[in-house]
């Protein structure tokens, strides 16, 4: 008899990854909203602070087994990130927590936040060359 059950560890790790990237995307969106001058209510600012704190904790836990960002793990079919990615994520979390707490941001800090968001978005959008060539052949 064949058992078609997924490994619990894989499920838990995928859930953990989904949670991390969901919070990261939320921080990116809220930071862009702040930079564009949209009003952020008290409950949103509280959520930004909570997400930022959790992301920093997750980055610290993850940095041990991390390899190289620009490689695709053949057996696991997922990206692995390097310390530069995690440093950028921590910087975003720190800056987001800062503006959520009401700390004034000058023009240079806003430029740094914009650049960091742009670089993170570029890293998250990266598609390996093998996958890109397959996708272009299908279309």
Residue 115 confidence (pLDDT): 95
- Rg of the chain's alpha carbons, rounded to an integer? 18
| Degrees, nearest 5: CA angle 67-24-19 | 80
Domain borders along the chain are 41-126
Across the chain, mean pLDDT equals: 77
Instruction: Please compute the mean of the pLDDT values over residues 32-57 and round it to a whole number.
Output: 92
Cα–Cα dist 14/124, whole Å: 17
CB 88 within 8 A of CB 63: no
Cα–Cα dist 107/113, whole Å: 10
Residue 123 confidence (pLDDT): 85
Cα–Cα dist 117/33, whole Å: 12
Cα–Cα dist 125/31, whole Å: 18
Model confidence pLDDT, tens digit, residues 62-120:
654 444 444 444 445 455 567 788 889 999 999 999 999 999 989 999 999 999 999 99
Give the DSSP H or E segment for 114.
helix 107-125
Structure tokens at 98: 């800062």
pTM here is 0.70
Residue 52 in this model has a pLDDT that exceeds 80: yes
Mode of pairing for the β-strands spanning 78-79 and 72-73: antiparallel
In three-state secondary structure terms, 139 is coil
Residue 139 in this model has a pLDDT that exceeds 50: no
Residue 66 confidence (pLDDT): 44
């Amino acid at each position: 008899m064949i058992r078609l059950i997924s490994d619990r560890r894989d499920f838990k790790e995928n859930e953990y990854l989904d949670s991390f990237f969901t919070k990261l995307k939320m921080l990116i969106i809220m930071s862009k909203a702040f930079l564009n001058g949209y009003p952020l209510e008290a409950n949103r600012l509280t959520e930004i602070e909570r997400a930022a704190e959790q992301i920093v904790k997750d980055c610290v836990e993850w940095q041990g087994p991390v390899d190289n960002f620009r490689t695709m793990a053949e057996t696991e079919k997922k990206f692995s990130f390097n310390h530069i990615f995690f440093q950028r994520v921590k910087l975003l979390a720190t800056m987001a927590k800062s503006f959520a707490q009401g700390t004034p941001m000058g023009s240079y800090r806003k430029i740094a936040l914009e650049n960091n968001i742009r670089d993170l978005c570029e890293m998250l959008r990266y598609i390996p060359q093998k996958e890109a060539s397959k996708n272009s052949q299908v279309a």
